[in-house]
Chain A
């Protein structure tokens, strides 16, 4: 019991130090610093607004820039968390080969680093919402819950990519393409309501759907996350976690052997 506590407190302090290292070192030599966290969703927002000019995308009576930006900010959090988790084992090889720590701290710290970016981009979202005079309600209290589920999902997928990516680097390299694909199969550029009904059930098996719709609801519509998609998000997320975590636990013993 005592030993378990010791390991936990050690892991927490390592997690903190790693996250601090990743956040500070990333921006220390850049001109724009933390502003880089905003650039990715902003660029996508501009692209999507252009695309919407030539295609028919419903905006559910919300100004389109803020409609898509409210989805892009949490999406960027999710996608960066996954993309950074994937190489987290390989890039921390020098620690893993030398010291025995629970390997989960590495993908977890990648998720936390991305969470920092989320809050940076969140300020711009708030400004945009203020500009379009969008009123917010108590539904915003759902935010921590949505963030937690998003973080768990990113962590689970990150663990999968990191564990196998350590043995075959293809998974690390492929993670960007995976996220690109995922971006367009999630209701970010378009709303869920525009997905054809016969595909809807299958579409909702994508755990990101319920989350993104949830974020959009609490930010823009002052409503709680939509029940059915959100339910599926939680279920699928927990299933993925239940598969990838034990897998990661088992494989992580052998990381030091192959790094």
Chain B
């Protein structure tokens, strides 16, 4: 282990539960494959690479002092398991890891709080759980009290607290820990925006002091902002390890295909409002050659076509169409109000909307559709009626962009003497 290496993980395997069931399983396998598999005794773990029996399948990586690493991956990829093993909460089934210095797992801040005890008593309790000695806790109590700013609430039982106050209490204790390695698991998803921002700031602060941070998150965009290095874990193995931006764009690219499949299979359209007056019969994308598509490239032109049927005579229909990201962020909504189309006497029809040089980054986007009258009376509102895969294109400008929106930018440098 070299000098500035702080974490070293070597061929880490993890199976949950007592090793007994593992042993039985291996015995059974060995019996079944007796004839085919002698002379290869060490391969028991490696054979499981393609099944779900192991949560971690032979991870190896090293971390240097002061690095901030974002660990990303889908649900059940093994991110949290990795953190738990590193925190020493659960032992690895095979392989080894070494961490130099004091590890602080920020896995759940309120673990062990008791509702009947007062805020101050709970601070002492949390401190003890997190590994402070009694004198250390008492020494930092004033700082903690000042940070969480709860005033007289400190002397009231915690069961009377709001969830925001609880989070504040837990976090202020966590802030006062001196650790070499911080393991953070989705802590920032709790609490309001201010609290999240506070977490951010504190993490940047501790990182500047040379602490190493391992951050597990589903929120890849958050990880992009904090971390320099990214590790993408899927199905218990590392599939990418490198600069955060590269890892995350790779992650999104891979995610697009799977996501599209998953989303269209699992998510039925969400209809918020549906009146008898209008019936949307079909909605789909068409590319520049008039072909019906569900995949487009960033920067391509395309058209959205919407077929509808009217049961009543309405002449002032306004169509609103928008894109929703897979994490339910409504990106943009555009409407046809300025077109002033007269629908008088229509029974059914098609309305198409041309999108020029679609500026969406690769990903899966859902369509948001609503139909109103010009006086804003709602006739129909729904989300996820159709999904579109946006894939990487050969356009050059995309290489300079990240995140959600691809702007068509250009740069110019001028030397001033």
B90 partner residues in chain A, CB cutoff 8 A: 253-254, 256-257
A9, closest chain B residue (CB): B133
Asked if A100 contacts B89 (CB within 8 A), the reply is yes
Asked if B117 contacts A24 (CB within 8 A), the reply is yes
Asked if A201 is at the interface (CB within 8 A of a chain B CB), the reply is no
Asked if B87 is at the interface (CB within 8 A of a chain A CB), the reply is yes
Within 8 A of A (CB), among B133-186: 133-134, 137, 157
A-B contact list, 6 entries, CB within 8 Å: A16-B128, A17-B128, A28-B116, A98-B87, A99-B131, A253-B91
With known contacts A21-B125, A167-B18, A16–B134 Cβ distance under 8 A: yes
Interface string of B197-241 (1 = CB under 8 A from A): 000000000000000000000000000000000000000000000
Asked if B88 contacts A100 (CB within 8 A), the reply is yes
Asked if A98 contacts B117 (CB within 8 A), the reply is no
B132 partner residues in chain A, CB cutoff 8 A: 10, 13
Asked if B17 contacts A14 (CB within 8 A), the reply is no
Instruction: Determine how close the nearest CB of chain B comes to the CB of A160; give it in whole angstroms.
Output: 16
Asked if B98 is at the interface (CB within 8 A of a chain A CB), the reply is no
Alpha-carbon distance A92/B129, docked complex (angstroms): 11
Of A16, A21, A25, A254, which is in contact with the most chain B CB atoms at under 10 Å from its CB?
A: A21
B135, closest chain A residue (CB): A13
B91 partner residues in chain A, CB cutoff 8 A: 253-254
Asked if A14 contacts B87 (CB within 8 A), the reply is no
Asked if B112 is at the interface (CB within 8 A of a chain A CB), the reply is yes
Instruction: Determine how close the nearest CB of chain A comes to the CB of B77; give it in whole angstroms.
Output: 18
A13 partner residues in chain B, CB cutoff 8 A: 127-128, 132-134, 137
A28 partner residues in chain B, CB cutoff 8 A: 116-117, 157
Interface string of A1-25 (1 = CB under 8 A from B): 0000010011001101110110011
Interface window among B61-69, B103-111, B341-349, B374-382: B103-111
A96 partner residues in chain B, CB cutoff 8 A: 89
Of A92, A99, A253, which is in contact with the most chain B CB atoms at under 10 Å from its CB?
A: A99
Asked if B128 contacts A257 (CB within 8 A), the reply is no
Alpha-carbon distance A88/B101, docked complex (angstroms): 30
Asked if B116 contacts A99 (CB within 8 A), the reply is no
Alpha-carbon distance A99/B183, docked complex (angstroms): 11
Asked if A29 is at the interface (CB within 8 A of a chain B CB), the reply is yes
B19, closest chain A residue (CB): A254
B15, closest chain A residue (CB): A257
Asked if B8 is at the interface (CB within 8 A of a chain A CB), the reply is no
Alpha-carbon distance A16/B133, docked complex (angstroms): 10
Alpha-carbon distance A16/B132, docked complex (angstroms): 12
Apart from A95-B129, A167-B18, what are 12 other A-B pairs with CB-CB below 8 Å?
A13-B127, A13-B132, A25-B116, A29-B116, A94-B111, A97-B111, A99-B129, A100-B89, A253-B90, A256-B89, A258-B17, A258-B18
Interface string of A245-259 (1 = CB under 8 A from B): 000000101101110
Asked if B130 contacts A21 (CB within 8 A), the reply is no
Report how many residues on chain A are interfacial, defined by Cβ distance under 8 Å: 30
Asked if B253 is at the interface (CB within 8 A of a chain A CB), the reply is no
Instruction: Determine how close the nearest CB of chain B comes to the CB of A100; give it in whole angstroms.
Output: 3
Interface string of B7-19 (1 = CB under 8 A from A): 0000000001111
Alpha-carbon distance A258/B18, docked complex (angstroms): 9
With known contacts A10-B133, A17-B124, A99-B130, A257–B16 Cβ distance under 8 A: yes
Alpha-carbon distance A10/B107, docked complex (angstroms): 19
Asked if A178 is at the interface (CB within 8 A of a chain B CB), the reply is no
Asked if B129 contacts A97 (CB within 8 A), the reply is no
A17, closest chain B residue (CB): B128
A97, closest chain B residue (CB): B89
A258 partner residues in chain B, CB cutoff 8 A: 16-18
Asked if A35 is at the interface (CB within 8 A of a chain B CB), the reply is no
- Residues of B in contact with A (beta carbons under 8 Å apart): 16-19, 84, 87-91, 105, 107-108, 111-112, 114, 116-117, 121, 124-125, 127-134, 137, 157
With known contacts A14-B128, A21-B114, A21-B125, A99–B18 Cβ distance under 8 A: no
Asked if A39 is at the interface (CB within 8 A of a chain B CB), the reply is no
A167, closest chain B residue (CB): B18
Asked if A101 is at the interface (CB within 8 A of a chain B CB), the reply is yes
B127 partner residues in chain A, CB cutoff 8 A: 13, 17
A25 partner residues in chain B, CB cutoff 8 A: 114, 116-117
Asked if B89 contacts A92 (CB within 8 A), the reply is no
The 3 nearest A-B residue pairs measured at CB: A100-B88, A17-B128, A25-B116
A97 partner residues in chain B, CB cutoff 8 A: 84, 89, 107-108, 111
Instruction: Determine how close the nearest CB of chain B comes to the CB of A12; give it in whole angstroms.
Output: 8
Within 8 A of B (CB), among A217-259: 251, 253-254, 256-258
Alpha-carbon distance A143/B74, docked complex (angstroms): 59
Alpha-carbon distance A167/B129, docked complex (angstroms): 24
Instruction: Determine how close the nearest CB of chain B comes to the CB of A253; give it in whole angstroms.
Output: 5
Asked if B108 contacts A98 (CB within 8 A), the reply is yes
Alpha-carbon distance A9/B137, docked complex (angstroms): 13
Asked if B17 contacts A254 (CB within 8 A), the reply is yes
Asked if A92 contacts B112 (CB within 8 A), the reply is yes
B109, closest chain A residue (CB): A98
B114 partner residues in chain A, CB cutoff 8 A: 21, 25
Alpha-carbon distance A97/B134, docked complex (angstroms): 23
Alpha-carbon distance A92/B128, docked complex (angstroms): 14
B17 partner residues in chain A, CB cutoff 8 A: 254, 257-258
Selected from B18, B105, B125, B128, the residue in CB contact (under 8 A) with A254 is B18
Alpha-carbon distance A13/B112, docked complex (angstroms): 14
Asked if A256 contacts B84 (CB within 8 A), the reply is yes
A17 partner residues in chain B, CB cutoff 8 A: 124-125, 127-129
Alpha-carbon distance A258/B121, docked complex (angstroms): 30
